[in-house]
Amino acid sequence: MQTSGNNDDHIIQIEESRDEDMMERMAHEGLTITTRGTERSLMGMKRDTFKNSYLHLAAKLSPHSQLERISGAALQMQRELQWFNVVDEHKKLAKEAETWMKDRAGSSMIVGTLIAAVMFPTAFTVPGGNKNDTGMPTMLETQRIPFLIFIVTNTLSMFSSSMSVLMFLGILSGRYAEEDFFKSLPVKLIFGLTCLFFSIVTMMASFGSALYLILHEKLSWVTLSIFILSAIPIVLFSILQFPLLIEMTNQTYGGGIFGKYK
């Protein structure tokens, strides 16, 4: 933030640069300052050389340097809407936010659909086969605990991936009104990514338990190696998606721009 000899100019510069720390401090202290011996409201009628008041400046789109601090156009849109509700300068960002959200939801929905498509038939082709007389799985009696782990993780992966697909489908079919970027769309994306992550974890657990049931008697060392390798996709997903997930959660449930002073 630049400085000058005029306190009114300081306020205008704070508004233009979107200095959030300074704005939060002023909001916490009552949104007033003393200018030339007279107490003035931050939302007063003082105008700059272009006849813009503080409210005009607050309604403008944030500088590019401020928007770059937030990843993704949808998160930038949500951040801007926390500054001001509906202004013409946000129309371009709203379109970019819609495109970003649809791309993210579309690619994630493909992953969720593939997981669901794999886990559904796996539940009916259990390791070891079924008994001819009863149709019950053979390993349900011989390897009860590992087999139950396989069935439970397979079921959880199937349902969580299906839930993530439904969330992403809800995003793709949304109306994308500007107010949807406050809560509706971010919450759907957070829930969808969380379900997708859980489905990947349970899918790898189901895969590892299935291989254990098949190979544990003669190739136990192979099973251990596969369990270790199964953790790699989980770690990669965490590295690639968790920063976005955490940022969206903090921004959606963090109480807004002035939330920490409430």
Q: Do 208 and 178 touch, CB atoms closer than 8 A?
A: no
CA separation for the pair 66, 3 (Å, rounded): 19
* pLDDT higher at 106 or 175: 106
- pTM assigned to the model: 0.65
The answer, yes or no, to whether residue 207 has pLDDT greater than 50, is yes
Residue-wise pLDDT for 132-151, tens only, equals 777 777 777 778 888 889 99
- Which of 259, 85, 62, 59 has its CA nearest to residue 182? 85
CA separation for the pair 207, 83 (Å, rounded): 47
The answer, yes or no, to whether residue 72 has pLDDT greater than 80, is no
In this prediction, residue 154 carries a pLDDT of: 93
The amino acid sitting at 182 is F
Residue-wise pLDDT for 214-229, tens only, equals 877 776 677 778 778 8
In this prediction, residue 256 carries a pLDDT of: 55
Local structure of 216: helix, strand or coil: coil
Average pLDDT of the chain to the nearest whole number = 74
Average pLDDT of 242-258?
78
Percent above pLDDT 90 for the chain: 23
Residue-wise pLDDT for 81-131, tens only, equals 665 554 555 677 778 888 999 999 999 999 999 999 999 888 888 777 777
Q: Do 196 and 156 touch, CB atoms closer than 8 A?
A: no
* pLDDT higher at 33 or 51: 51
7 pLDDT band (50/70/90 cuts)? very low
Structural domains of the chain ordered from first start: 7-88 (no CATH), 94-255 (1.20.120)
Cβ-proximal residues to 153 (8 Å cutoff; 6+ apart), any chain: 202, 203, 205, 206, 209
Query: 127 — phi, psi (to 5°)?
Result: -60, 140
Q: How far is CA 172 from the centre of its chain?
A: 15
